[in-house]
Structure 1
Amino acid sequence: MILINRFTVIINIILFFVIPISFIYSYLNYYILGFFLSLRFPILWGSLGLLEIIIFIVFPLFLSLIFNRIENGLNIFFSSFIPIGTPLWIAWFVGLAETISYMVRPLILVIRPFLNISIGVLGTSMVINLIINSFSLIIFSLLFIIFFYEIFVAIVHWYIVNNILNFSINH
C-alpha cells in the first residue's frame, strides 16, 4: 500500500508539471462544445443529461475560478471589481454592480444554455412532426435551415459560457 501511494504521488507530481491546468481547462471547454453540438441530434438529446452536464461541469469550473481568485487574496479580489481611473463618487456603485454581476453569473451559466437548447430541440421536434404528418419539400427545407440555425445557437452558447469563464479568470 505504501508503494502504491508513493507511486501515485510521483505520478501526480509529474502530471502537475507536464499537463498544465490551462490544458485541462481548455479540454473541458471543448468537451462542453462537443456536448452542445451533439444535442442538435434528436436521439442524443435529454434535458436531464443537459442539466447534469451544465451543473456538474460548467458550474464547478466557475466556482473553482472564483475560489482560486479569493484564495489569492480577498482584498485583491474585491479591488479588481473597480477599474483603474474610476472616479471616487461612482466607485461604490461600480463595486456594487460587479458584486451583483458575480452573484448572477452562475445562474446565467446554468439557466441560459439549458433553456435555449431545450426550446430549440422542442421546436425542431415540432417541425419534424409537421414533416411526418404531411411531407413537403418546403417543410423539409425549413428543417434543414433550423438544424443549421440550432448548430449556430449551440456554438454561440458555448462561446458565451467560454467567455464568461475566461472573463472570470482575470476579472
Structure 2
Amino acid sequence: MIVVNDFGSLIGRIYVSVLSGASYYYFVLLMLVLVLFLVYRLPYCYSFYLFFVFLFGVVFVMFVSLFMCRVFSNVNSFFASFVPLGTPLYICFIVCVAESISYMIRPIVLILRPFINISLGCFGDVALGNLCFVSCWWVLILVLLFFYEVFVALI
C-alpha cells in the first residue's frame, strides 16, 4: 500500500482491519448509510420516500441475497437451522413453524424499525425547534434539557 498522507493510511488501516480484504462494496454501503444518517440530523432534510426506498432497497436486497445463498449452498442446513439443537422432539414442529414465521417477518421489522424511529426523531426535532418561536423560555428549557442529556450520557 502506498502511503500518500495520514488520511490515506488511516482509511487503508480501517479497510484492512474492519473489512479484511472484502470488496469496497461493503465499505461504500456503510459510508452511504453513515452519511445518510448524519444528513438526517440536520433540520428539514428528511424525506419519507427517499429513506423508505433506501431501507427497502438495502434490507430487502440483502435479505434475498442471503436467502438465496443459504438455500442454494445447502438446503438441508438451511431448514435445519430453524430447529435449535437440543429441542425436544415433541415440540420440534411448533418451534420450526415459529422460527419460519420469524424468519419471514424479519426483513419487514428491519425496514420498519429504523423508519419509524428516525421519522419520529426527525419530526420530534422539528416540533421542539418550532417551540422556540412561541416563547423565549422554551430556548432556556431546551438548553437545560440538552445539558441534562449530556450529563446523563457522561455518567
Q: TM-score, normalized by length of structure 2? A: 0.71
CA contact (8 A) 2:40 2:46 kept: yes
Residue 139 of structure 1: aligned partner? 142
Paired residue type of 1:59: F
Question: SS of the residue aligned with 1:57?
Answer: helix
The answer to which structure has the higher helix fraction is 1
Stretches of structure 1 lacking an aligned partner (at least 5 in a row): 1-17, 153-171
Distance of 1:96 and 1:72 partners within structure 2: 22
Question: SS of the residue aligned with 2:69?
Answer: helix
Size of the alignment, in residue pairs? Answer: 130
Residue 105 of structure 1: aligned partner? 106
Describe how 1:40-119 pairs up with structure 2 within 5 A: 40-119=41-120
Distance of 2:32 and 2:51 partners within structure 1: 13
Larger radius of gyration: 2
Paired residue type of 1:139: L
CA contact (8 A) 2:41 2:122 kept: yes
* Cα RMSD, aligned residues only: 2.7
Answering whether residue 61 of structure 2 is matched by residue 25 of structure 1, we say: no
Give identity over the alignment, percent: 38
CA contact (8 A) 2:44 2:126 kept: no
Residue 9 of structure 2: aligned partner? none
Distance of 2:90 and 2:51 partners within structure 1: 44
* CA-CA distance at 1:77 after TM superposition: 0.8
CA contact (8 A) 2:82 2:96 kept: yes
**Shift in CA distance, 34/139, structure 1 to aligned 2, threshold 3 Å:** same
Q: TM-score, normalized by length of structure 1? A: 0.65
Paired residue type of 1:68: C
Larger relative contact order (Cα-Cα within 8 Å, sequence gap ≥ 6): 1
